[in-house]
Amino acid sequence: METTVWQTDGWLTGVDWRPSPNFGPRPDGLVTLVVLHNISLPPGEFGGECVEDFFLNRLDAAAHPYFSEIAGLHVSAHFYIRRDGRLVQFVGADQRAWHAGRSSWQGRGECNDFSIGIELEGCDEQHFAAAQYAALWPLLAALRQRYPITALAGHSDIAPGRKTDPGPHFDWAAVRARHPDLALPPEVVALPK
């Protein structure tokens, strides 16, 4: 993403577009939060097209025992960063993707209404790849150019007790170093500098 160009409805040029049907309009159009997630399908396995298929409502429920539990869900994220750093966009960032579920950030509920969801291919038990961070940094910069982003949180921060991602291996210190003005989760703020 050397040159950031936004298309209609918040589609970013230079990334792989896979439009998901799982989105809706934002109630007020204001985007102030980025939410980080991790995902791997099957759990703990990387590569393949299962995550894309899940967000596009075409996951084969018979392909893995876990898939029968989630195949009927209609979820999406705005962006997905694969282990090799390839960036996939499922929902225009001006729209409301269905990534957060029941959630609250700093007293405000329904985080899908005012957030961008970024999924990192990964799991709680492993570190993320350097290529993923190399893709995340310019994506965050591009989002901050377009939207008045004031905070970045993990799914675990907006849905505590229900979610654990992006997990203990995400490099929050690197986020803080690059974006010191963003509101971050309390446990990140408490980390030594």
Catalytic residues: 119
* Coil, helix or strand at residue 187: helix
Structural tokens at position 88: 């996939």
Rounded to whole angstroms, the Cα distance separating 188 from 108 reads 20
* Strands 115-121 and 79-81, bridge-based pairing: parallel
Q: What is the 3-state secondary structure (H, E, C) of 64-101?
A: CCCHHHHCCCCCCCCEEECCCCCEEECCCCCCEECCCC
End-to-end CA distance of the chain: 29
103 near 112, Cβ under 8 Å?
yes
